[in-house]
Amino acid sequence: MAGQRRSVTRRTVLRGAVAAGAVAGAATTGALRPTSAVAAPGRRVAVLGGGVAGLTAAHELAERGLAVTVYERRALGGQARSIRVPGSARDGRPELWGEHGFRFFPGFYRHLPDTMRRIPFAGNVNGVWDNLVAAPEARFSRRDADDVILPLGKAFTTWATPDQFRETVGSAISTSAKMPTADALFFANRLLVFNSSCDARRGGQWDDISWKEYVGAGQRSKEFRMLLSRTLTTLLVAAKDDLASTRTIGNMGEQFLGNPLEIANDGPLDRLLNGATTESWIDPWTALLRELGVEFVRADVRGLELDGGRISAARTADGTLIEADHFVAAMPVEVARTLWTPEILALRPELAGMSQLVVDWMTGIQFFLKNPTNIVRGHAAYVDSPWSLTSIAQNQFWNRTPMSDLGDGTVRDRLSVDISDWNTPGILYGKPAKECTHDEIAREVWAQLQAHLNDREDLLRDDDLHSWFLDTGITWDAANRRNVNADPLLINTAGSWALRPESHRPAIENLFLAGDYVRTGVDLATMEGASESARTAVNRLLDVAGSDAPRCKVFSLYRAAELEPFRQLDAARYAAGQPNFFDTPI
């Protein structure tokens, strides 16, 4: 069998199999450059996967002079890429843009923006990073109830003591969310408990408890349950509040609500790109990587060949062997865990826990409109929609690529919607999204949006609908009358931290893991988590290779300095089996 396989090295790579556009721009500031176009022995790296984790790893490695080849089975950018809508181009205009889901760049992201600043973009001093624009507000829409529109930014005053924290955060939530004061203060105290918890308690206690249980949602008001328990989890990940890990959701709450002055943030609370993701970010990125010597190959990696304590080659679906000195596995969790043979698990037994990690669906649909919408100047969450919908009307932010310049020229806006719950029956057909045809999904989502937006005024009109596009990762299995999803999302369920692996263990010297399932500080299935994990993988690889190149920057999440004495106190209390100092009824 081995004699029938073809061997692929950097010198025999199939060039040009994965296409990406080139964008001219200013020189990269402060970027390291390869020392040689030809790799020295021990410096060939195969990056398996071309999503955000894989491209980040390739970027960091290429800047440090290693010879990198990225192997991707579908399309560069992975779930972050934009997707051309087939057949939508007219009269010389390019096709409309669809996508897996709208892109969201919170201000607490640090790794991704750092990379974006190093990607040249014509006319931008700070490269691709200058394509980020702030969303000034968010809308929480309730069916047959008053909606809440929140201004985003430095909404809270500063605080110096735990009591001031409770009062400041509680008052802001009560006022803006129209929530009973007692509920708002209770939530502020739960946030205080988490923010003042030591690392050991966060990993050893809070990770094992669901968010719904942690915030006591069952004993609070309907507004509390809908906004601070259910919506907070579905906004961040496609998770239910009775499943999501408190460690994960608490970390995000610490950044959004515990950091009101945006200390140590990269920018405003809510940001998005000023054009289609592929044009604004992915194409310029792959163009830069090619300049740095990175090569791209279309390949479906199906296995790893183990020789002692090293990976000798990766094996593709057609039997081709990919040879390299180091391997970075940058596939999503549901793909990566299929590579672990009994021999690999014997050396890294902790990887077996990956088989218990949960993936679910969070996928986008875009509605192209003949007139601009006036829903909100930012993201909207449809709080009690059966399919947990969130949306963004994008033309108001796309100053680089107006909708009228695309398709047949009649589109004036694009409402990009994320469907986070594919398992709950809808309001039109009484079926979950997984069991609806694509046309039924579009009609159902449109109906749920209208039920929320048109109960007070006519914000979403049937006459304005031009067309729609559902992510191509969703395919209809007619025989079984249900959909199949090629791109599920990792869900950090309670207790899942123990199942997530580290990037590298010496038992397999040259295998490094990068992906949002790897243990990271951000602890969430996001592009930021993918970027952080890739940087960690690269740093471990440089250690193993004995490289003297500078290590990648790895940033820490914000923690209020005012609470550090209480976190130190909590470390002692947790070790003694005592609760957090603030974990008492208020």
Cα separation, 121 vs 238, in Å, equals 33
Q: Residue 188's closest CA among 163, 213, 211?
A: 163
pLDDT digits (tens, 9 = 90+) for 290-334: 999 999 999 999 999 999 999 999 999 999 999 999 999 999 999
Closest CA to 47 of 72, 64, 74: 72
- pLDDT value at 180 more than 80: yes
Question: Residue 560: which residues within 8 A CB-CB, separation 6 or more?
Answer: 165, 195, 258, 259
Detail the DSSP E strand segments found in 335-462. 358-360, 363-369, 379-382, 389-393, 413-419
Residue 557 structure tokens: 């999440």
Closest CA to 519 of 251, 314, 282: 251
Contact assessment for residue 195 and residue 341, using Cβ atoms and an 8 Å cutoff: no
C-alpha span between 78 and 244 (Å, rounded): 24
Among 75-89, 338-352, 389-403, 493-507, which stretch is predicted with the lowest mean pLDDT?
389-403
Dump strand ranges (E) for 435-584: 465-470, 474-477, 482-485, 489-491, 511-513
pLDDT at 177 over 90: no
Q: What is the pLDDT of residue 380?
A: 93
pLDDT interval class at 516 (50, 70, 90): very high
Does residue 181 register a pLDDT over 70?
yes
Instruction: Determine the 3-state secondary structure of 550 from DSSP.
Output: coil
What's the pLDDT score for residue 331? 97
pLDDT over 90 percentage in the chain: 71
Separation between Cα atoms, residue 406 and residue 394, nearest integer Å: 14
Please give the pLDDT value at position 179: 81
SS3 168: helix
Confidence of residue 26 (pLDDT cuts 50, 70, 90): very low
pLDDT of amino acid 156? 56
In 320-462, beta strands by DSSP E:
321-322, 326-329, 358-360, 363-369, 379-382, 389-393, 413-419
Q: What is the per-residue pLDDT for 24?
A: 31
The answer to whether 169 and 311 are in contact (CB under 8 A) is: no
Mean pLDDT of the residues in the chain? 89
Q: What percent of the chain is helix, strand and coil (3-state, nearest 5)? A: 35, 20, 45
Q: Which amino acid is at 132?
A: L
> Distance between CA 463 and CA 369 in Å, rounded?
9
* CB burial of residue 139 (10 Å; 0-12, 13-18, 19+): buried
For residues 293 and 66, what is the distance between their CA atoms, to the nearest angstrom? Answer: 9
Alpha helix segments (H runs only) across 266-360: 277, 283-291, 333-336, 342-347
Q: What is the pLDDT of residue 142?
A: 86
pLDDT of residue 29: 31
Residue 543: predicted pLDDT: 97
Q: What is the pLDDT of residue 575?
A: 98
